Amino acid sequence: MFFYTDTADAPWTVVKSNDKKRARLNCMRHFLSTLDYPGKDLNIAQPPQPEIVGSAQRVVHRADHILGTALHPDTRRVKA
């Protein structure tokens, strides 16, 4: 799904959620840091932790990821 829908016009943002509390906080940090709004405090609205929130290209599209080979049609392994 990511391979076909993660495009330059509509990129995916992936939040790793092994730790639900950190995932929720970093998801909020992502939105607050990317949106402009009146009274935005840059000391509070900081970017999320890159190991928790990232692009699908960085997080899922790697060949060593559990879904990596399933997402890349050109890298499927042929079983003998």
Max mean pLDDT range (2-6, 28-32, 62-66): 28-32
Range of the domain at 38: 2-6+13-75
| Domain assignment of residue 80, yes or no | no
> Confidence class of residue 57 from pLDDT cuts 50, 70 and 90?
confident
| Domain assignment of residue 51, yes or no | yes
- State the pLDDT at residue 80: 47
| Domain assignment of residue 68, yes or no | yes
| Domain assignment of residue 53, yes or no | yes
3-state helix, strand, coil in the chain (%, to 5): 40, 10, 55
13 and 53 Cβ atoms separated by less than 8 Å: yes
Q: Which position has the higher pLDDT, 51 or 62?
A: 51
In total, how many domains does the chain have? 1
Q: How far apart are CA 48 and CA 45, in angstroms?
A: 9
Residue 72 CB neighbours (<10 A) = 14
Least confident interval from 20-24, 53-57, 63-67, 75-79: 75-79
- Of 73, 62, 70, nearest to 14 by C-alpha is 62
| Domain assignment of residue 66, yes or no | yes
| Domain assignment of residue 56, yes or no | yes
User: Model-level pTM?
Assistant: 0.65
| Domain assignment of residue 38, yes or no | yes
